[in-house]
Structure 1
Amino acid sequence: MEELKNIAPNLSKMKKENPFGTPKHYFDDFSARMQMQIEAEKHVANNKEFKIINLLKPALGLAASFAIIFMLVYIPIKTFIPQDQVIETTASTNFSDRQMHSILEELDETSFFALLENDDNDETFSDDDLLAYVSSNFNAYEIFEYTEE
Structure 2
Amino acid sequence: MEELKDIAPNLSKIKKENAFGTPKNYFDDFSARMQMQIEAEKHVADNKEFKIINLLKPALGLAASFAIIFMLVYIPLKTFIPQQQVIETTASADYPDSQMHSILEGLDESSFFSLLESDDNGNTFSDDDLMAYVSTNFSTYEIFEYTEE
TM-score (norm 1): 0.51
Does the alignment pair 1:108 with 2:149? no
Unaligned 5+ residue runs, structure 2? 95-125, 141-149
Q: How far apart are 1:75 and its partner, in Å?
A: 5.0
Secondary structure at 1:26's aligned position in 2? coil
Which residue of structure 2 lines up, in the alignment, with residue 61 of structure 1? 61
Does the alignment pair 1:92 with 2:111? no
Which residue of structure 1 lines up, in the alignment, with residue 29 of structure 2? 29
Q: What is the root-mean-square deviation in Å for CA atoms of aligned residues?
A: 3.5
Unaligned 5+ residue runs, structure 1? 96-106, 117-129, 138-149
Q: Distance in 2 between matches of 1:38 and 1:76?
A: 58
Which residue of structure 1 lines up, in the alignment, with residue 49 of structure 2? 49
Q: How many residues align?
A: 105
Percentage identity across paired residues of the two chains:
72
Q: Deviations over 1:89-121 (max 9, x none)?
A: 3433358xxxxxxxxxxx9322356x59xxxxx
Q: Deviations over 1:32-69 (max 9, x none)?
A: 11111111112222233332222212211211222233
Q: How far apart are 1:83 and its partner, in Å?
A: 4.0
Q: 1:40 to 1:87 in 2, by over 3 A?
A: same
Q: Distance in 2 between matches of 1:32 and 1:110?
A: 92
